[in-house]
A and B are shown apart, each in its own frame.
Chain A
Amino acid sequence: MHLMYFTEQPMSDYPEEEARKAGGISALMLSNKHFDAVDGSRLYNERIEEYLYAEEVGVDGIMLNEHHNAPFCMQARVNMYASILAAMTEKVKIVLLGNPLPVSDNPIQLAEEIAMVDMISKGRLVSGFVRGGGSEQLANNTNPAYNRERFEEAHDLLIKIWSEPGPFRWEGNHYQFRVVNPWALPLQKPHPRIWIPGVSSIETVTWAAEHRYPYICLNTTIQQTQDIWEVYDQAAQRVGYKSGPEQRGYLIRCHVADTEEKAMKNGREFMWMLGEFTGLGHPVWFSPPGYSSPESRRRRAETQVTQRADSFDKQLENKNIIAGTPDQVIASLKQILEETRPSILALWGNDGKVDHKDSMDCIRLMGQEVMPALREIGKDLGLDSPFEVDSPISLAETPASELLPVTV
């Protein structure tokens, strides 16, 4: 298995009542007058210390993401933290989930940044890509109606940059460049592994499967996860390979503490995060016009109100949030692994107002107790990661002789 540590990097010191006045929606429009740079400086540095500790206690990978205009996530540029970690760590994989391609007007610059991080980290980078949520399009003023087209075109351009020597010219539908010839190229050839995180967009799941990129389900329910694998497996079959655990990833909110009491107290902080996973995304900003497929337009027309998340207890019961002592957490995760069979697992350990000390305790227990047990469980279940089986990094990089007959 490949076991990662993740946190959204929340800015926990904004006045919650201000967000509540806006219906509990903190992303996009909550005024940045509530941002305190002194706290920000402290929190950024605490996060670095936590990531370094995660490496020390044996975590395989550190998963990073980015959001904009969002107190629930202080990372505004995933490549910034990636470059810091590239220089400060030695062993962990740096897993970007990911760079939001459509919001960039210059994918060449992204290609350069990713290549630099890969080289500085000596080839420890996983370069995931995302479409970015609806409010990310608004925060960056990127036309949501062209989101998917821009995602696919930017991806194709990046792959061409990493697969073919420059200079070449790119005259695409959304991107045009006279000269494509970035000097810096990735250390991993032809490029770092690409993983695609997402919630439940069938189009994205299918697209990932068609490229043989692992798909990382972001805290979906067990049933949703199983449904996603069905779509993924069928698409994989169609393009000529049999998908397995090495293409399956899963992120789950999971807090570990020495005592159940403390785990429950800190686990509740996942509910504090007035962001997308608590269901408090603004229905329009979450999916602005054109962002989703025409097929889901009807659903948007039906959904006018902000949907509240299930209660903490309900989410615990459904294993959508896990909180407990190492033994309790291992038992719950074992069940998830058995039922959904991912080889890539990210534990979203700390959120909200969980303080630095408890975060460090959680990381220690994860690295020293939970993850070793999960590795054994993973071995028993045959959940070998892409690194363990050295799976092809994409369909394009799969030798033709290994492809199955394509079903029509």
Chain B
Amino acid sequence: MSTTATNFTEEFVQVDFGKVHMMKGGTGQPLLLFQDDLGSPGWLPFYEDLARSFTVYVPSHPGFGKSERPNWMRSTRDLALSHLWLMKTLGLESASVVGIGFGGWVAAEMATMCHHIFDRIVLVGAVGVQPTEGEILDQILLSGEEYTKLCFHDPAKFEALYSAETTVDQREVWEVNREMAIRLAWKPYMFNQSLPHLLGGVDTPTLVVSTKDDKVVPASCGRRYADLLPNARLEVLRDCGHCADVEQPVELAALISGFVSQK
């Protein structure tokens, strides 16, 4: 697998609800990075790019990847609350956050719960709000591999990360993650009907990023976030599917660095 193995550490953070697997790298102001529900097969070049400007924390969501599953957890809001607790455990009074896909939903929920926890918010292809046009692609009718392939604009980039023949280990990780995703977001699938009513209270500067060829999350989700958040702007990346962090790492990292570094 093509991941970067340079300057990062890997650890398990013990929080009362369970062990959280976390990768961490770089120096500078703290930047939390919440992955999509697919997880990631390691320290991605995108993380490395961001680590040039920030201390990047990449926790696996509880129940995803190598993080312990809290069996009581029933909703994405529960998950968001657990991340607030994780931040407290890490001694992060505030941080900027980048949420990819499902991770964007988690970040948005956290922001509605604690208006000043984030300095800057970046939502990339975020689910969490019901699309006003189109539907969020239902991964439950697809295999993990079929779904992940649809997350890419360029099949070569899928293969570069996961190889043309995916491994049983990788497919098992997808199964673990999909199982946790549906424990949290089965119905309604991947959105919270209350969230749009609460986003108006979040005045944190927010960058909403959509991609031109996102087959998973309709563009209307990005537009909705940008409309509902009082201090948000929308950027659209070209030649890119749902996995912008893998397909356009340099462009996305530059966009984020510029936005987060503004004071």
Question: Which A residues have a C-beta under 8 Å from some C-beta of B?
Answer: 29, 138, 141, 143-146, 283-285, 288-290, 297-298, 300-302, 304
Contacts and interface: CB of A to CB of B under 8 A. Distances in A.
A301 B172 contact: yes
B145 A304 contact: yes
B203 to A, nearest CB: 35
Given A143-B183, A288-B182, 13 more contacts: A138-B140, A141-B187, A143-B187, A144-B182, A284-B142, A284-B143, A289-B140, A290-B178, A290-B183, A297-B179, A301-B171, A302-B168, A304-B143
A194 B145 CA distance: 40
Given A145-B183, A289-B182, A290-B182, A301 B141 contact: no
27 contacts: A143-B182, A143-B183, A143-B187, A144-B182, A283-B143, A284-B140, A284-B141, A288-B140, A288-B182, A289-B175, A289-B179, A290-B178, A290-B179, A290-B182, A290-B183, A297-B175, A297-B176, A298-B172, A300-B175, A301-B168, A301-B169, A301-B171, A301-B172, A301-B175, A302-B168, A302-B171, A304-B171
Contacts of B8: none
Interface residues of B, number: 19
A297 B182 contact: no
Nearest to A135: B141
A293 B204 CA distance: 42
B85 interface: no
Contacts of A283: 143
* Residue of A29, A285, A302, A304 with highest tally of chain B CB at under 10 A: A304
B186 interface: yes
Contact of B172 (A138, A145, A297): A297
Contacts of A144: 182
A1 B207 CA distance: 71
B66 to A, nearest CB: 14
B168 A289 contact: no
A145 B186 contact: yes
Nearest to B176: A297
Interface of B: 140-143, 145, 168-169, 171-172, 174-176, 178-179, 181-183, 186-187
Nearest to B167: A301
A298 B141 CA distance: 19
Contacts of A141: 187
Nearest to B170: A301
Contact of B182 (A145, A284, A302): A145
A138 B176 contact: no
B177 to A, nearest CB: 9
- Going nearest first, the 8 A-B pairs with the smallest beta carbon separation are A289-B178, A301-B171, A301-B172, A290-B179, A143-B186, A289-B179, A145-B183, A301-B168
B95 to A, nearest CB: 31
A283 B175 CA distance: 13
A27 to B, nearest CB: 12
Nearest to B69: A294
A199 B103 CA distance: 38
B102 to A, nearest CB: 14
B219 to A, nearest CB: 26
Contacts of B175: 289, 297, 300-301
Contacts of A298: 168, 172
B41 to A, nearest CB: 14
B168 A138 contact: no
A138 B141 contact: yes
A54 to B, nearest CB: 38
Contacts of A297: 172, 175-176, 179
A285 B172 contact: no
* Residue of A29, A289, A297 with highest tally of chain B CB at under 10 A: A289
B138 to A, nearest CB: 10
B262 to A, nearest CB: 40
B69 to A, nearest CB: 9
Contacts of B169: 301
A285 B182 contact: no
A179 to B, nearest CB: 24
A326 B89 CA distance: 73
A298 B175 CA distance: 9
A366 B181 CA distance: 49
A308 to B, nearest CB: 18
Contacts of B141: 29, 138, 284-285
A301 B142 CA distance: 13
Nearest to B140: A288
A283 to B, nearest CB: 7
